[in-house]
């Protein structure tokens, strides 16, 4: 069997949590809507005459993401129409970006190497289809609450070479997006959706085919898709065949992929600039004002925690959990000397951070520190040590010098910084002597 190199590029779709939709004033809240099809208007229903007006907040969020992912922000961007027919797309085209997106290039570093980005563009989400049984008949229902919700798409270069690297990369991207506060990246609800472009190369060069796997809704499934596709491609290549260029769907239940359709070309979509939306000029002043929103990013946060004496593995867990991070920051503000133990306790689940406040946690630690050591099992080895190190004083005591006891109590207090309970120490000393 030949050794192949896995070549994978990722496409990451993320719904932005702006107040309103991408091109109209309808509420952007598809997951909490009390009923389907209530947050709609002529624009997001694609009715004749509806005119799109771009959402400034969504554009700023996209540029902010680009800045966080080391992208270049061009001085001009525009929206294109991407045509395809499907009931979830009422206009018959999706407003997206092809030639002049908001962010160009960029990269994310992983421990397996750098993953370069091709670009990040902004588009509108489609409506949500529900395939159900109604009165024993298979029906497809459509909910337009999601139609035209702002959707950011991050497109990478084919720089991912293992399932492990894919997982690390995707987690990093998700953590950065969450740190920016522009999306919840909830994969279960579908506010973050993944696609993988996969091929195998016998010589490290880009092969002449790629298979797109859609419908991946967890990082684990993404890694699984790479593993199963690699095996399938290797088998075909070993038989002298080239895998067909196509779109396949990931099936979580079986861990396999199934063919959906042969891949269309960009030309099939008949992209052209949307004539309803003028090009968008991005001034350096505007970029500078957006950059002010950049918070401390996860990598920097991990470094800050490491400086406080927290192990990197512990810091990573904390940084990827917003609530844990807030708790640790709160402890740090109250008293930095307790950050290290708080970090360990929170990761080892010794703190229920939803119930125990940082203030109470610190008070508990303080009272523990202040209280006397009365535990005999803790004191006995310390006392034994002191006795072994001072054989001549032990001999004095046994010869009847009672004041030798005071010497030993003093020695134990020195070792325990004065926290040993004097009564217990006296009792133990007499027993051990
Ligand atoms: Zn609308
Ligand atoms: Mn897209």
Residue 248's pLDDT is 93
Encode pLDDT of 125-172 as tens digits. 999 999 999 999 999 999 999 999 999 999 999 999 999 999 999 999
Residue 355's pLDDT is 84
Compute the average pLDDT of residues 372-384. 87
pLDDT of 369 strictly over 80: no
Residues with CB under 5 A from ligand 1 (ion): 24, 26, 41, 43-44
CA 299 to ligand 2 center in whole angstroms: 28
358-370 and 339-347 helices, crossing angle to 10° = 110
CA 102 to ligand 2 center in whole angstroms: 14
Q: How far apart are CA 316 and CA 205, in angstroms?
A: 34
Contacts of 357 (CB under 8 A, 6+ apart): none
CA 36 to ligand 1 center in whole angstroms: 13
* Contact (CB, 8 A) for 226 and 8: yes
CA 89 to ligand 1 center in whole angstroms: 13
CA 124 to ligand 1 center in whole angstroms: 11
Encode pLDDT of 211-222 as tens digits. 999 989 999 999
User: Which of the four pLDDT bands, split at 50, 70 and 90, describes residue 77?
Assistant: very high
User: Which of the four pLDDT bands, split at 50, 70 and 90, describes residue 289?
Assistant: very high
More confident residue, 298 or 4: 4
For CATH 1.10.10.410, the residue range(s) in the chain are: 376-432
pLDDT of 264 strictly over 70: no
CA 94 to ligand 2 center in whole angstroms: 9
Residue 55's pLDDT is 98
CA 13 to ligand 2 center in whole angstroms: 7
Closest CA to 10 of 109, 157, 135: 157
pLDDT of 34 strictly over 90: yes
- On the 0-12 / 13-18 / 19+ scale of CB atoms within 10 A, 50 is middle
Residue 378's pLDDT is 85
CA 419 to ligand 2 center in whole angstroms: 64
Encode pLDDT of 96-114 as tens digits. 999 999 999 999 999 999 9
More confident residue, 368 or 74: 74
What's the DSSP call for residue 222?
H
Residue 390's pLDDT is 92
More confident residue, 421 or 284: 284
Residue 297's pLDDT is 85
Closest CA to 154 of 210, 195, 209, 109: 195
Q: What angle do CA 98, 104, 106 make, to 5 degrees?
A: 140
pLDDT of 1 strictly over 60: no
The percent helix, strand, coil of the chain (3-state, each to 5) is 40, 25, 40
CA 152 to ligand 1 center in whole angstroms: 18
Going through 30-92 in order, the beta strands assigned E by DSSP cover: 76-77, 80-83
CA 417 to ligand 2 center in whole angstroms: 64
CA 363 to ligand 2 center in whole angstroms: 51
Question: How far is residue 225 from each of residues 17, 128, 270, 297, measured CA to CA in Å?
Answer: 28, 24, 30, 29
Q: What angle do CA 22, 23, 29 make, to 5 degrees?
A: 45
CA 123 to ligand 2 center in whole angstroms: 7
Going through 157-262 in order, the beta strands assigned E by DSSP cover: 192-201, 211-216, 246-251, 256-262
Closest CA to 97 of 86, 82, 76, 110: 82
Q: How far apart are CA 366 and CA 357, in angstroms?
A: 14
Q: For the chain, how big is the Rg over CA atoms in Å?
A: 31
Q: Which ligand is nearest to the CA of 214?
A: 2
Q: Which ligand is nearest to the CA of 82?
A: 2
CA 99 to ligand 2 center in whole angstroms: 14
Encode pLDDT of 166-202 as tens digits. 999 999 999 999 999 999 999 999 999 999 999 999 9
CA 143 to ligand 1 center in whole angstroms: 13
As separate numbers, helices (DSSP H) first and strands (DSSP E) second, the chain gives 13, 16
DSSP letters along 305-358, please?
Answer: HHHTT--HHHHHHHHT-HHHHHHHHHHHHH-GGGHHHHHHHHHTT-S-TTTS-H
Contacts of 394 (CB under 8 A, 6+ apart): 387, 404, 433
Q: Which ligand is nearest to the CA of 12?
A: 2
Percentage of residues in the chain with pLDDT exceeding 70? 98
Phi, psi of 49 (to 5 degrees): 95, -15
Residue 50's pLDDT is 93
Q: How far apart are CA 314 and CA 337, in angstroms?
A: 17
What the block records as the tokens of 195 is 């696609």
Q: Which ligand is nearest to the CA of 122?
A: 2
Q: Which ligand is nearest to the CA of 153?
A: 2
pLDDT of 67 strictly over 90: yes
Q: How far apart are CA 395 and CA 404, in angstroms?
A: 9
Q: Which ligand is nearest to the CA of 44?
A: 1
pLDDT of 396 strictly over 60: yes
CA 24 to ligand 1 center in whole angstroms: 5
What's the DSSP call for residue 29?
-
- Is 376-432 assigned to CATH 1.10.10.410? yes
CA 14 to ligand 2 center in whole angstroms: 10
Encode pLDDT of 306-328 as tens digits. 888 898 899 999 988 888 999 99
CA 322 to ligand 1 center in whole angstroms: 32
Q: Which ligand is nearest to the CA of 119?
A: 2
CA 121 to ligand 2 center in whole angstroms: 8
Phi, psi of 173 (to 5 degrees): -60, -45
Residue 363's pLDDT is 87
Residue 6's pLDDT is 97
Contacts of 334 (CB under 8 A, 6+ apart): 358, 359, 362
Q: Which ligand is nearest to the CA of 14?
A: 2
pLDDT of 261 strictly over 80: no
Contacts of 251 (CB under 8 A, 6+ apart): 257, 258
What's the DSSP call for residue 32?
T
Q: Which ligand is nearest to the CA of 194?
A: 2
User: Which of the four pLDDT bands, split at 50, 70 and 90, describes residue 25?
Assistant: very high
Compute the average pLDDT of residues 272-283. 97
Closest CA to 4 of 256, 237, 245, 246: 237
Residue 266's pLDDT is 67
Largest CA distance in the chain: 109
What's the DSSP call for residue 72?
B
Q: How far apart are CA 219 and CA 164, in angstroms?
A: 10
Q: Which residues pair with 214 in a beta bridge?
A: 249
CA 81 to ligand 1 center in whole angstroms: 18
């Amino acid at each position: 069997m030949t050794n192949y190199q896995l070549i994978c590029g990722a496409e990451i779709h993320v719904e932005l949590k702006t107040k309103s939709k991408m091109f109209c004033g309808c509420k952007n809240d598809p997951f909490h809507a009390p009923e389907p099809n209530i947050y709609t208007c002529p624009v997001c229903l694609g009715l004749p005459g509806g005119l799109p007006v771009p959402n400034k907040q969504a554009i700023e969020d996209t540029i902010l993401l680009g800045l966080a992912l080391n992208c270049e922000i061009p001085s001009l961007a525009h929206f294109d129409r991407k045509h395809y027919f499907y009931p979830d797309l009422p206009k018959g085209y999706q407003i997206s970006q092809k030639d002049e997106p908001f962010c160009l290039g960029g990269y994310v570093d992983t421990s397996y190497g750098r993953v370069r980005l091709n670009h990040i563009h902004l588009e509108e989400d489609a409506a949500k289809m529900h395939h159900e049984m109604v009165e024993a008949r298979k029906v497809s229902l459509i909910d337009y609450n999601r139609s035209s919700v702002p959707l950011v798409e991050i497109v990478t270069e084919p720089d991912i070479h293992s399932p492990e690297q894919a997982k690390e990369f995707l987690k990093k991207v998700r953590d950065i997006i969450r740190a920016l506060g522009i999306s919840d990246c909830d994969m279960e609800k579908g506010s973050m959706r993944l696609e993988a472009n996969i091929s195998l190369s016998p010589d490290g060069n880009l092969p002449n085919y790629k298979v797109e796997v859609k419908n991946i809704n967890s990082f684990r499934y993404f890694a699984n898709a790479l593993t199963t596709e690699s095996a399938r491609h290797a088998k075909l290549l070993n038989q002298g065949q080239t895998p067909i260029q196509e779109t396949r769907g990931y099936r979580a239940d079986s861990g396999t992929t199934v063919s959906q359709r042969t891949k269309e070309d960009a030309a099939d979509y008949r992209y052209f600039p949307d004539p309803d939306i003028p090009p968008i000029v991005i001034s350096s002043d505007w970029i500078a004002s957006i950059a002010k929103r950049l918070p401390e990013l996860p990598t920097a946060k991990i470094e800050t925690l490491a400086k406080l004496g927290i192990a990197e593995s512990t810091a990573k867990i904390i940084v990827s959990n917003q609530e844990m991070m807030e708790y640790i920051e709160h402890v740090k503000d109250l008293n930095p000397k307790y950050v290290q133990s708080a970090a360990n306790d929170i990761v080892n689940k010794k703190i229920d951070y939803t119930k125990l406040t940082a203030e109470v946690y610190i008070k508990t630690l303080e009272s523990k520190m202040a209280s006397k050591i009365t535990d005999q099992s803790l004191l006995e080895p310390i006392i034994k040590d002191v006795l072994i190190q001072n054989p001549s004083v032990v001999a004095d005591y046994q010869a009847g010098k009672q004041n030798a006891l005071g010497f030993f109590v003093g020695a134990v207090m020195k070792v325990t910084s004065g926290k040993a309970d004097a009564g217990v120490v006296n009792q133990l000393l007499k027993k051990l002597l």
